[in-house]
């Protein structure tokens, strides 16, 4: 298919949008790769927004692995974590979230891969996930590529616990309570005590390898490539992260082989290193796309 550049605000493009609707209606196996742009209308700014939490707390500098080697930065990071969790808990899924949920409800969603850590999709009935992700299926509808604010992980024994914000205060990592319980039992049994592990939020920081999820995500990715997807929707992301960019490239290749459709949805055009992956480049917000879907024939296309 010849690549088409459309704007959701173009009132003269009725014929093009009708063709888009017809093409998507025929698709039955959707892969959706989402980024921060699907949550901005819920009040959660992306990491580059000067008015957002991430930039207010120092941007990349205080959201990298380096915070665990600097007391002042770690204290700022813990404050960011607390505020981000409160913000996410007070926000609601957007029209685009609901559109993807409808795909899942109708069994047309192979997978939602989200780079977001806010967990808004989990408020909807069909966009459930699993934490931690297993290395064998069946897998949930939603894969959190960069983790979630709402869970923490022990650095020593790998325990995964719901995030307790009251623990993330000051410039030292909180102690894992499961380790503490295990150590109390060891001491009570007359065994030598050991130092418990520390807790970190289960999110991917800059300059960090997500070794706690790489194998599982790789297995899901391989499975989904074999699922013969016929539609790829990339929404609200610039694909700056290499892992997400590689995932999209591989999915786009398979979708093309299946005579499917790859669509970019964003306020900005794709960069040249991924432009060729897409049949349709739709300029606008993700919610505008969802509303356009409703206007042209309902949430099911």
For the chain, the domains span 1-44+93-146+212-301, 47-90+147-203
pLDDT recorded at residue 101: 97
Mean pLDDT over 251-257 rounds to 97
Across-strand partners of 199? 154
Distances (CA, A) of 284 to 268, 275, 291: 8, 16, 11
In the chain, the N- to C-terminal Cα span, in Å, equals 20
Mean pLDDT rounded to a whole number for the chain: 91
| pLDDT for 36 beyond 80 | yes
pLDDT at 297: 58
pLDDT of 256 strictly over 90: yes
Residues 6+ apart with CB under 8 A from 116: 34, 35, 36, 38, 39, 144, 146
The predicted structure's pLDDT at residue 296: 57
* CATH architecture of the domain with residue range 1-44+93-146+212-301: 3-Layer(aba) Sandwich (3.40)
Q: State the pLDDT confidence band at 190, using cuts at 50, 70 and 90.
A: confident
Token pair in block for residue 131:
């934490």
At 38 the pLDDT is: 98
Band the pLDDT of 140: cuts 50, 70, 90.
very high
146 is catalytic: yes
Mean pLDDT of the 18-28 span = 87
Bond from prior residue into 14 cis (ω within 30 degrees of 0): no
- Predicted confidence at residue 63, as pLDDT, reads 85
Residue 292 pLDDT greater than 90, yes or no: no
Average pLDDT over residues 220-227: 98
For residue 21, the model assigns a pLDDT of: 84
Residues 6+ apart with CB under 8 A from 233: 30, 31, 32, 33, 263, 265
- The reported pLDDT for the residue numbered 11 is 67
Mean pLDDT of all residues in 186-202: 89
Of the candidates 62, 64, 67, 40, the one whose C-alpha atom is nearest the C-alpha of residue 51 is 40
- Show the tokens assigned to 277: 């992956």
The predicted pLDDT at position 2 comes to: 67
Global pTM exceeds 0.85: yes
Contact 131, 51 (CB under 8 A): no
Residue 60 pLDDT exceeds 80: no
CA–CA separation, 74 vs 51, rounded Å? Answer: 21
Are 236 and 270 in contact, with CB atoms under 8 Å apart?
Answer: no
Residue 287: pLDDT above 90? Answer: yes
* Residue 295 reports pLDDT greater than 70: no
Split at pLDDT 50, 70, 90, the class of 1 is low
Q: Report whether pLDDT(113) > 70.
A: yes
Residue with the bigger pLDDT between 281 and 296: it is: 281
Query: Strand order in 160-162's β-sheet?
Result: 160-162, 147-154, 199-203
Asked if residues 258 and 26 have their Cβ atoms less than 8 Å apart, the reply is no
What local confidence, expressed as pLDDT, does residue 9 receive? 73
Residue 210: pLDDT band (50, 70, 90) is low
Neighbours of 105 (CB within 10 A): 16
- Count the Cβ atoms, other than its own, within 10 Å of residue 11: 7
Judged by DSSP in three states, 121 sits in helix
Find where tokens 């931690």 sit. Answer: 132
Sign for the pseudo-dihedral over CA of 216, 222, 226, 231: positive
Q: Which of 69, 97, 98, 146 is catalytic?
A: 146
- Residues with Cβ within 8 Å of 26's Cβ and at least 6 positions away in sequence, in order, are none
Model confidence at 169: pLDDT above 90: yes
Class for the domain spanning 47-90+147-203: alpha beta
**What does the block give as tokens for 108?**
């047309």
What's the confidence (pLDDT) of residue 40?
A: 95
């Amino acid at each position: 298919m010849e690549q088409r550049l459309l704007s959701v605000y173009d009132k003269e493009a009725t014929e093009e949008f009708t063709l888009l609707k017809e093409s998507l209606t025929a698709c039955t196996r959707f892969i959706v790769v989402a980024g921060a742009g699907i949550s901005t209308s819920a009040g959660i700014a992306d990491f580059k927004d000067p008015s957002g939490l991430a930039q207010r707390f120092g941007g990349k500098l205080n959201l990298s692995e380096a915070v665990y080697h600097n007391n002042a930065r770690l204290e700022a990071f813990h404050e960011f974590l607390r505020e981000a969790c409160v913000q996410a808990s007070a926000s609601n899924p957007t029209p685009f979230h609901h559109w993807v949920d409808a795909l899942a409800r109708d069994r047309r969603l192979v997978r939602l891969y989200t780079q977001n850590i806010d967990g808004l999709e989990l408020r909807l009935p069909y966009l459930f996930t699993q934490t931690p992700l297993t290395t064998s299926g069946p897998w949930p509808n939603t894969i959190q590529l960069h983790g979630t604010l709402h869970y923490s992980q022990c650095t020593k024994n790998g325990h995964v616990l719901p995030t307790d914000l009251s623990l993330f205060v000051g410039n030292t990592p909180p102690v894992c309570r499961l380790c503490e319980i295990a150590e109390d039992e060891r001491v009570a049994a007359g065994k030598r005590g050991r130092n418990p592990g520390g807790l970190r939020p289960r999110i991917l920081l800059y300059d960090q390898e997500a070794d706690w999820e790489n194998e599982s995500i790789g297995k899901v990715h391989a499975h989904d490539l074999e699922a013969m997807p016929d539609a790829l929707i990339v929404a609200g992301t610039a694909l700056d992260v290499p892992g997400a960019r590689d995932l999209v490239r591989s999915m786009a290749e398979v979708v093309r082989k299946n005579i499917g459709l790859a669509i970019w949805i964003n306020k900005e055009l794709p960069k040249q290193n991924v432009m060729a992956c897409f049949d349709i480049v739709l300029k606008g917000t993700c919610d505008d796309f969802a509303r356009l879907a409703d206007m042209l024939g309902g949430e099911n296309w």
